[in-house]
Structure 1
């Protein structure tokens, strides 16, 4: 079906005839509010200069005035997909944006295409006495195959197979607070992060048990329940004052469900079944920050930085993992095996967390492979997530939220992702015949570092 662009009218004075409030537009050069002639439905249009890529990823944030439980039904449609044979002649990409409600038109707060921000603006203001503000996000992914049989971004430089250890930025590898320095003298590796024990068993659900110190950055997060504590999530030590876990461990949509003072973090022990009597190191939380773009309905922005009330002293069993450094693009790590460790269920039939941490090795898979494997992934993934797994029944499950996905680079482990979501079968069990979805730490690293510096 051919749609003539003359049928599209930019809203301005027309907004009065529609009796709708059209929010301020932060970037009229790339975005406009429109409606079909003689129609009532308002939609948005995005115009982005085409960069010649064969993988197109458009991400859009929006802010609604009011409280909505499920605002993430904003839909994006690419109306001018490039033709592989004539993509060089394409000058602009045109996207239509369809809103879930017509009585409340959202304000656009971010438009990002292939990692570049084209538009940014403030969210809807919070007005006293109103129902509040709801923020949401959505993304659209499109690719085509070139004459070499693969979808590639010709604008990107050649992909290197390994990170060059000689050129690693140590300030980025070892994230610390403004007034602290890492000290790993007891490990014999002063100033280093990501050093794991060599006694790693070759193999979370279907994994193998860990012993103390194998992954010394592993942290068990407990929360107050009654007169005691209950295991909640897996977390990861990234400095002597900070751990990182999944936002869903402390927040439901925009509502905080765990109080800062109710959090207890246990360090240095793979077996946390008797942490209170086995000499484990514990700390309370002094501050909790979740990513501003987090939405319960997907893995986008599913990251949380927790600041400890007191710094921990590093030892053989307690040491930080390195934050990811180098390129953010997934192309460079697709197919690489990463380790995921946590205290999630060891047998999904039992549906109870394991007292001993388990870990499993799973590969990162290409985004298009993940999306084509199950339609559900289109609603829970974004440009800030990745999929991983072998679809063999092994992987993160209930209780593994926040578990780190770490990649070994030249003998050091780097945190690339955080376990967020798995699909479920008809019985409500983890369906690891499908891929697991992780929040991509590489895409959130700037926010993580900012939170660490501000709340050290």
Structure 2
């Protein structure tokens, strides 16, 4: 009988993750959440075609929106029997999670030195930093440009590694204030028809000057029909409201907002949600798309964002001096 070598590496890192149950799955073609019909326990399943090489190396990076103890580990089990592997059956792994209250989600899947899936990047500080600690190693971050469909994210895309990540020094977990980070790429990007820059805000940063105006937000996060992830980016226009209106609409906003955040929303069940963190709130100023805010947080209802309430944005206009200094 031919010798079969099976090596599995699981890396768990704390990262910005959706808090719905289960979380958005960025790798649905390979990875699925399964609920055991007897115990009710949810576990993950990975399935790959068998290349019959006799040597199988699996690396899975996962993220979870909580802090795990040292003894809380992922349990990765090869489900396909060895004799079935020699017959060319698909390679199947089951993944058992250390906690059930908040489930991990895959952020990178590599099998036999081929990367099969990488979760989409985000740019809000809470997506890559917890207080002043980097949640995700720099080498695990990847920026994909020029794509609107994440099902086919790698085809004809411009892909860059991240050289450094710089959060705003005032960022604190669960707050909108300072929830902004700068990712420096390892190589320059050439702008093309489908890859265009956003301008930094050049006008007066007084929020009252644009109250009632609409901005546009695009992303792949949870949609109004309950899908945890959409494969083709959607966009929506949202009106800005003044700070008093936002604060009076719900007392919970007092914990999320500051003088360097703003609120916007249609209050009709549509808008940015889990998975859209870090998306830009952009406005067309003098014919040029300009960044005014970054999706930060929202009030929650039954474990996910409450889109009958406003969304909180970090006001990028208030941080433009810090952005310029960080880029020099």
Which TM-score applies when normalising by structure 2?
Answer: 0.64
2:42 paired residue number: none
1:322 paired residue number: 199
Deviation (angstroms), 1:451 = 1.1
Spell out, residue by residue over 1:96-124, the C-alpha distance to the aligned partner (whole angstroms, 9 max, x if none). Answer: xxxxxxxxxxxxxxxxxxxxxxxxxxxxx
CA distance in 2, matches of 1:312, 1:410: 25
Structure 1 stretches of 4+ moved >3 Å = 222-230
1:283 paired residue number: 160
CA distance in 2, matches of 1:413, 1:444: 18
1:264 paired residue number: 142
CA distance in 1, matches of 2:107, 2:294: 20
User: Any residues of structure 2 matched to 1:111-122 within 5 Å, and which?
Assistant: none
1:231 paired residue number: 119
1:187 paired residue number: none
Spell out, residue by residue over 1:178-205, the C-alpha distance to the aligned partner (whole angstroms, 9 max, x if none). Answer: xxxxxxxxxxxxxxxxxxxxxxxxxxxx
Deviation (angstroms), 1:226 = 5.6
Secondary structure of 1:376 counterpart: helix
User: Any residues of structure 2 matched to 1:203-222 within 5 Å, and which?
Assistant: none
CA distance in 1, matches of 2:109, 2:319: 31
Deviation (angstroms), 1:422 = 1.4
Secondary structure of 1:449 counterpart: helix
CA 1:420–1:233: 2 relative to 1, 3 Å: farther
Deviation (angstroms), 1:231 = 2.0
CA distance in 1, matches of 2:124, 2:285: 24
CA distance in 2, matches of 1:232, 1:318: 16
Deviation (angstroms), 1:424 = 1.2
Matched, 1:387 2:275: no
CA contact (8 A) 1:322 1:413 kept: yes
**Structure 2: 5+ residue stretches without partners:** 1-105
1:358 paired residue number: 234
CA contact (8 A) 1:271 1:356 kept: yes
CA contact (8 A) 1:233 1:399 kept: no
CA distance in 1, matches of 2:180, 2:303: 24
Indicate the structure (1 or 2) with the bigger Cα radius of gyration.
1
2:276 paired residue number: 400
User: Any residues of structure 2 matched to 1:302-381 within 5 Å, and which?
Assistant: 302-347=179-224, 349-351=226-228, 353-381=229-257
Matched, 1:446 2:321: yes
Q: Pick one of 293, 300, 310 that aligns with 2:170.
A: 293
Secondary structure of 2:248 counterpart: helix
Query: What is the Cα-based RMSD across aligned positions, in Å?
Result: 1.6
Secondary structure of 2:119 counterpart: strand
User: Any residues of structure 2 matched to 1:23-62 within 5 Å, and which?
Assistant: none
**Structure 1: 5+ residue stretches without partners:** 1-221, 235-244
1:410 paired residue number: 286
CA distance in 1, matches of 2:164, 2:121: 17
Spell out, residue by residue over 1:108-158, the C-alpha distance to the aligned partner (whole angstroms, 9 max, x if none). Answer: xxxxxxxxxxxxxxxxxxxxxxxxxxxxxxxxxxxxxxxxxxxxxxxxxxx
Matched, 1:434 2:322: no
Secondary structure of 2:269 counterpart: coil
CA contact (8 A) 2:224 2:269 kept: no
Which TM-score applies when normalising by structure 1?
Answer: 0.46
CA distance in 2, matches of 1:225, 1:299: 31
Deviation (angstroms), 1:350 = 2.8
CA distance in 2, matches of 1:350, 1:272: 15
Deviation (angstroms), 1:347 = 4.0
Q: Pick one of 128, 133, 149 that aligns with 1:250.
A: 128
Deviation (angstroms), 1:372 = 0.3
CA distance in 1, matches of 2:107, 2:133: 17
